[in-house]
Structure 1
Amino acid sequence: MFDLLGLSAQHEAVYRAMLQRPDLNVAGLSDHLGVSSGEVSAALDVLADLALVRLDPRGDHARPVRPQAGLMALLTKVEAEVAVRQQQVEATKAAIAAIATAHDDYHQVAEGRLLGGVDSVRDRLAELAHSARTECLSFSSGGAQSPDTLEAEAPLDQQALQRGVQIRNVYQDSFRNDPGTLAHARWLAGLGGQSRTTPTLPMRMVIVDREVALVPIEPTNPRQGALELHSRGIVAGLIALFEQVWHTATPFGEQAAADEQGLTRQERELLRLLAAGHTDESAARKLAISLRSVQRMMTSLTERLGAASRFQAGVQAASNGWV
């Protein structure tokens, strides 16, 4: 209980015994506690160093100092040390901020600042995770995240949730087939985080505390880096986009229901993409699924429409109101 004050469990036991039985000498304390005389003597030396007992130089008796005086004096000393340590922490924070400002490799732009490359983005996301106060919203588009990325995010998410930060993530439906993402979503849900999925997402995005947003410099190639935005109007627009997608997305743990035509949302989105002129390859990238999965899905849709060709399937889908 008093580790903070420098007392082990045995030191505390000897001190408590002395308060209860001030008449006991070293041998008596040894018998009373069921420990050796050497252990009692060693504990008395520590208690004396901490000014919790006063040793009698003429014998083997020691007198305990009242807890209100001895223990409170130790606690006051620890509090003073903590205060000094906190001042050192604040000074270190200021020094880190000064170094970061002097050697910042971010490029300022009118709308915010550019974070060049994946490493800069990851470093900034870690900073935002540590400083988040209320909320973190995100779109995770593209392919499934690597195990290393999920492992790196886990402690940051856990710390934020423990501080009371609300976390809401939207993934693509294809992520439901990735064991790592599923495990991460379940783990996050156990801590209070929320995850949903939708067939496609416009881009990757992170919004923290409704004050700062990170979006890709080039949506088709997130590895180029991100643009950090602080404009209230722009951030408000991105929040509205997130809420619209979130409202229609399917929560993890629930299966996306087919619509009145028997189409899943992913199937309907594929039809929409192809009708808009996307190739199978670009539709696969948009849906974050393999080309083979797109082709299998189209074969199934063609058969269900009773069409002899994909062109006929497109005409029939439009006629049936599928697109």
Structure 2
Amino acid sequence: MAEHTMLVLGLTSIEEDVYRHLLRNPGIDVEDIHVLLRHEAEPTRRSVQRLRELQIIQKVDGVTRACEPELVVARLAEQRLEELYDDIRSLTHLRPLLDSLGRELPEPDVGEERRTVERITGLEAIRARLDELAFFARDEVLAAEPYDALTPENIENSRPLDMRCLRRGVSCRSLIRRTALEDGPTLAYLLELTAAGARIGVLDDLDELMLVYDRRTALVPLDPANTAKGALCSQEEGIVTTVVNNFERLWAGAEDLTTLVERRGESMHDTGITDVQATVLRLMCTVGKDETGAREAGIALRTYRRHISDLMQLLGAENRAHAALLARERGWI
């Protein structure tokens, strides 16, 4: 079966055949091993040479032996991981390639200007563009979002985009309204982002929606009073610079979320759940049956289950197992 081969570790089928044969028959003469394995002589000779270079087989006192499988697999796995990390690092820095490919495009006709401002309408189209921009962001994402609370759907759609950027080391700064901190699930998600490396500024008044990616592309609503009408996506330098300057002006007057939360006497792992909810959360993760958990918590079964439902919403969890995982990640249990 494929999962039992060494192909995933970078060895060819001939190289694996040679190694396995030497494990079974230590000390045999490798000069004629192609005959025993029924392979052609030259490919087998090259395989033996590569196995020696990789220190998978060694010649000691004139005798060729296979190295211990545990050492071989560990060495090859480490080498493959390094190669994969190199590939990943290359794939996250595609801007030079995009610039190079862009230079291959023909020059626009006289009087024709390449479009730098795009009008986007429809929620799905906007989400698709945001996903695209987040995927290609490499340095910085700036966001000003004047919401009072995030719905579970908002959080579900935003989490993979935000976390993908943060895992790649993209600097993420967001501005939010202070009123958003009064909503439990919203505050929990914001704290989750700060724990992953995001910086969040809090303002008493925030009415402007803006998103900027790598200081190259800006998204602003077509109508600030009605964001449902759509958005303008622009790479025009003047427009992007104006949006960035506006963001920085607002950022300078914002209060850091972490500082604000700590001053309010809340830790990064405490979002204001009650003692009863903390007990229910612990029991949910340690007790198999709801009836047992409710009895140990000293509350009715219906109340116990309602607390679980509230906790799952607060954590933004899809199910109880997911809730337990998120709670452990945030230090709640």
Which of the numbers 49, 53, 59 marks the counterpart of 1:68? 49
Contact 2:149-2:186 at 8 Å conserved across structures: yes
2:237 corresponds to which residue?
Answer: 232
Contact 2:17-2:37 at 8 Å conserved across structures: no
State, as a whole percentage, how many aligned pairs show the same letter: 28
TM-score, normalised on structure 2?
0.49
1:172-231 CA-partner distances (Å, limit 9, x unpaired): 101111222222222222221111211121321101111111111111111111011222
Contact 2:166-2:196 at 8 Å conserved across structures: yes
What count of residue pairs does the alignment treat as equivalent? 199
Q: Does 1:113 align with 2:111?
A: no
User: What displacement does 1:54 show?
Assistant: 3.6
Q: Does 1:213 align with 2:218?
A: yes
1:9-41 CA-partner distances (Å, limit 9, x unpaired): x9898467358x2359xxxxxxxxxxxxxxxxx
Counterparts of 2:250 and 2:139 in 1: how far apart (Å)?
20
User: What displacement does 1:70 show?
Assistant: 5.2
Counterparts of 1:16 and 1:143 in 2: how far apart (Å)?
68
Letter of the structure 2 residue corresponding to residue 56 of structure 1:
L
Letter of the structure 2 residue corresponding to residue 17 of structure 1:
L
Q: Compared with structure 1, are the counterparts of its residues 12 and 56 closer, same or farther at alpha carbon in structure 2 (3 Å cutoff)?
A: closer
2:227 corresponds to which residue?
Answer: 222
Q: Does 1:140 align with 2:175?
A: no
Q: Compared with structure 1, are the counterparts of its residues 146 and 57 closer, same or farther at alpha carbon in structure 2 (3 Å cutoff)?
A: closer
Contact 2:215-2:241 at 8 Å conserved across structures: yes
- Map 1:144-183 onto structure 2 (within 5 A): 144-183=149-188
User: What displacement does 1:234 show?
Assistant: 2.0
Measured on the aligned residues, the alpha-carbon RMSD in Å equals 4.3
Q: Does 1:17 align with 2:1?
A: no
Say which SS state the counterpart of residue 164 (structure 1) adopts.
coil
Contact 2:145-2:176 at 8 Å conserved across structures: yes
Q: Compared with structure 1, are the counterparts of its residues 147 and 57 closer, same or farther at alpha carbon in structure 2 (3 Å cutoff)?
A: closer
1:43 corresponds to which residue?
Answer: none
TM-score, normalised on structure 1?
0.51
Counterparts of 1:12 and 1:149 in 2: how far apart (Å)?
55
1:289 corresponds to which residue?
Answer: none
Q: Compared with structure 1, are the counterparts of its residues 56 and 117 closer, same or farther at alpha carbon in structure 2 (3 Å cutoff)?
A: closer
Letter of the structure 2 residue corresponding to residue 69 of structure 1:
R
Say which SS state the counterpart of residue 145 (structure 1) adopts.
coil
Counterparts of 1:238 and 1:161 in 2: how far apart (Å)?
22
Counterparts of 1:175 and 1:4 in 2: how far apart (Å)?
49
Letter of the structure 1 residue corresponding to residue 191 of structure 2:
R
Counterparts of 1:178 and 1:16 in 2: how far apart (Å)?
65
User: What displacement does 1:168 show?
Assistant: 0.5
- Map 1:1-323 onto structure 2 (within 5 A): 3-5=8-10, 14=20, 17=23, 21-23=26-28, 54=34, 56=36, 67-69=48-50, 112-255=117-260
Contact 1:189-1:195 at 8 Å conserved across structures: yes
1:263-311 CA-partner distances (Å, limit 9, x unpaired): xxxxxxxxxxxxxxxxxxxxxxxxxxxxxxxxxxxxxxxxxxxxxxxxx
Q: Unmatched 5+ residue regions in structure 1?
A: 25-52, 59-63, 95-107, 259-323
User: What displacement does 1:5 show?
Assistant: 2.9
